[in-house]
Structure 1
Amino acid sequence: MDSTKDIVNKINDQYNMLSKGQKRLAAYIMDNYDKAVFLTATKLGEAVGVSESTVVRFAMNLGYKGYPEFQKSIEELVQGRLNKIEKMEVTYGHNSQSQILENVLAADAEKIKYTLEHTDGKAFEQAVDTLINARKVYIIGLRSCAPLASFLGFYFNMLLDNVLLINTNSTTEIFEQMLHIDKDDAIIGISFPRYSMRTLKALEFANNKNAAVITLTDNIHAPINLYSSCNLVAKSEMVSIVDSLVAPLSVINALVVAICMKQKEKVITTLEELERIWDEYQIYNNDEMNYLDSRSIEEFGLGDRNE
């Protein structure tokens, strides 16, 4: 019996043995579980017209150790029964537009904090070394992950010698672009729920060709980690029709900075050459950001090449 159904079955099994007040609680929860999930024991009691102690006894009569465990079971019920629009209504329905902005930004900040606290430093260092030493780096991220892959590909092309961004909607074309991948190469696959089967198949192919496989995903148990030797994890879920890509993008930013610091001389030479080309061919207006201004050099610790 899965936990999503557990609370419903427990209420049904125990219903005839419940007191009148507890039966009112049971009815309220079955009809308003989307609201009950946010209520403390005191507030739930007030909503039904019973005491806080009656709420706690009700939870314990159902077999829970206390109210927190009981509330967690309601959360699992909500997650199983509400679609994304309904979850958004529960979370944001009574908020003003400015409050929605505050809540989403605060939630994104929490995801970065969580990712930082649970990051695997050794895996990150392994990823940086693998990417630098690879003969060729392949990048794949499809559907909602395509912007992350494109951003990573843009900067990796400045830092590394041979980078291929796989960007196609055809599985056949994916394999055609990866035809020559081998043990001297590396591929970084980006996949967040709902996980792309094409990304999974691409990493399986790379793994079978003995290439180094690096993944960026939301969970250590994500499908693409079946084929990876180096897993980077970033929290992404949010109450919305979209995933939050803030924490994954921060991890990508960290990869770019770390590779810059590992190859200071090469990066400075590359950026100087790009500046010359941009200036010669008038790629940017004069008011565009200068990639090699003195402040940027100090911030990233590139310093004087002669130091």
Structure 2
Amino acid sequence: MPSPQQARAQAAAITSGRTAPEAEAAPTSQLRELFDGPRLSPGQRRIAQYLIEHIAEAAFLSITELADRVGVSQPSVTRFAAAVGFSGYPALRERLQAAALSRLAGGPGAAETDRSNELQAAVDAEIANLQNLRHDFADPDRVIRVGRELSRSAPLTVLGLRISVSLAEYFAYAARRIHPDVRLVTHGGSVAYDTLLQSREAGGTWVLAFGMPRHHHETLNALQVARSAGLRIALVTDLGLGPLADEAEVVFATGTGSRLVFDSYAAPGLMSAALLQAMTDADPERTWARLEEYEQLAERRQFFLKD
């Protein structure tokens, strides 16, 4: 019986028009689909990448040999096998050997194995995330409504901890061009609590939070503090359900690219830009006045290089 991940991969292939997915898909593509379903840690992704790139050899390695080749522990390989839906490494190796033998035998799809690499696969996955986001934007009312609320919140707090810092910093940097009081929180614990409570006391009503995987307790604790203080939360994350989403007033679930060792964030970045656009449209007079003032300052101080 196939694992849940294998079943999803087969269903996806059938939906895309392939009536015999296991027979027609290239072995490397099969492995990418298999490993793409579950949420893997960076260390587990290293194992997945090694298996994809060295399938003909790796499929016949013992667990000790594979761990040595990748540079991880044997328990890490066992945990990886469980994470992708197998009872243990022996069951995973059987699946790998079937893929390797298909490639060596030159079966259907084997000729396509090397037509794409992991970087191209990562781009393909992000394109799929963006296509899903495009579908979500077919009805932009929710983005427009939240952008209006964020624009009205003074101060506006932007929260992003650990891996989510870069998204929060991008949003806060741009939002400060169009909003008079944006407060950025990039450290957890009491530092985050202080800023959130002070923002509420100063009249703030909303927090825009970013919660990218791997999800951690610091973000959850900060959201709980914000909510208990009376702040409403708009959350940009990869999951529409879960502990973080439970704390939020509005959740924007956007896929993250998980093909490489570390995630990529094309869709969350575009979602951030869409919310910024909604903020500019919510108060156009303030927006253009602030942007014009900033351009004059930038010109006077020569912030930017001349083209």
How far apart in 1 are the matches of 2:126 and 2:39?
23
TM-align CA RMSD: 3.5
What is the CA-CA distance between 1:122 and the residue it aligns to? Answer: 4.1
Within a 5 Å distance, the mapping from 1:163-202 to structure 2 comes to 163-168=182-187, 170-182=188-200, 184-202=204-222
Give the direction of change, closer, same or farther, for the CA distance of 1:238–1:215 in structure 2 (3 Å limit). same
- CA–CA distance in 2 between the matches of 1:138 and 1:121? 23
The Cα of 1:200 is off from its aligned counterpart by 1.2
1:159 is aligned, of 171, 178, 192, to 178
Shift of 1:115: 2.4
For residue 48 of structure 2, what is the aligned residue in structure 1?
Answer: 87
1:43-101 CA distances to partner (integer Å, 9 max, x unpaired)? 79xx9xxxxxxxxxxxxxxxxxxxxxxx99x9489959992112223445588798443
Deviation at 1:126, TM superposition (A): 2.9
8 Å contact kept, 1:213–1:227 = yes
Q: Is the 8 A contact 1:91 1:239 kept in 2?
A: no
Contact 1:4 1:77 in 2 (8 A): no
User: In the aligned structure 2, how far is the partner of 1:97 from the partner of 1:284?
Assistant: 42
Q: CA deviation at 1:141?
A: 0.7
* Cα distance change of structure 1 residues 40 and 138 upon mapping to structure 2, 3 Å threshold: same
2:121 alignment partner in structure 1: 103
Matched, 1:113 2:74: no
1:60-79 counterparts in 2 under 5 A? 75=34, 79=38
Q: What is the CA–CA distance in structure 2 between the aligned matches of 1:77 and 1:117, rounded to whole Å?
A: 21
Residues in 2 aligned to 1:140 and 1:184: alpha-carbon distance in whole angstroms = 14
Q: Compute the displacement of 1:251 (Å).
A: 0.3
Q: How many residues align?
A: 228
Instruction: Tell me: CA distance 1:92–1:145, structure 2 relative to 1, closer, same or farther (3 Å).
Output: farther
Distance 1:97 1:209, change over 3 A: farther
Aligned to 2:149: 130
SS of the equivalent of 1:221 reads coil
Secondary structure, in 3 states, of the residue corresponding to 1:255?
helix
Deviation at 1:255, TM superposition (A): 1.0
- DSSP-derived class of the 1:242 partner: coil
Residue identity in the other structure for 2:127: A
Matched-pair contact (CA < 8 Å) for 2:159–2:168: yes
Residues 96-154 of structure 1, C-alpha deviation per residue, up to 9 Å, x if partnerless? 79844332222211111122224574432331121012121111111111100000000
- 1:12 maps to none
TM-score, scaled to structure 1 = 0.64
SS in 1 for 2:198: coil
User: Following the alignment from structure 2 to structure 1, what is the Cα–Cα distance between the partners of residues 47 and 165?
Assistant: 27
CA contact (8 A) 1:181 1:209 kept: no
Structure with the bigger RCO (C-alpha within 8 Å, sep 6+) is 2
Identity of aligned residues (%): 17
Alpha carbons of structure 1 residues 205 and 91: separation in structure 2 relative to 1, 3 Å:
same
Contact 2:143 2:274 in 1 (8 A): no
Q: Work out whether 1:254 is the aligned partner of 2:274.
A: yes
Task: Kindly indicate whether the alpha-carbon contact (under 8 Å) linking 1:134 and 1:185 is maintained by their aligned counterparts in 2.
Answer: yes
Q: Which residue of 1 aligns with 2:81?
A: none
**1:25-40 alignment to 2 at 5 Å?**
40=21
Greater alpha carbon shift after TM alignment, 104-113 vs 256-265: 256-265
Unaligned 5+ runs, structure 1: 8-38, 48-70, 288-307
Structure 2: how far apart are the matches of 1:138 and 1:78? 33
Worse overlay, 180-189 or 213-222: 180-189
Larger radius of gyration: 1
CA pair 272-93 structure 1, distance change in 2 beyond 3 A: farther
Q: Give the partner amino acid of 2:156.
A: V
- TM-score with structure 2 length normalisation? 0.64
For residues 280-299 of structure 1, the aligned pairs below 5 Å read 280-287=300-307
d(CA) in 2 for partners of 1:187, 1:163 = 10
Question: What CA deviation, in whole Å up to 9, does each residue of 1:245-303 have, x standing for no partner?
Answer: 1100000011112222222222221121112111212222222xxxxxxxxxxxxxxxx
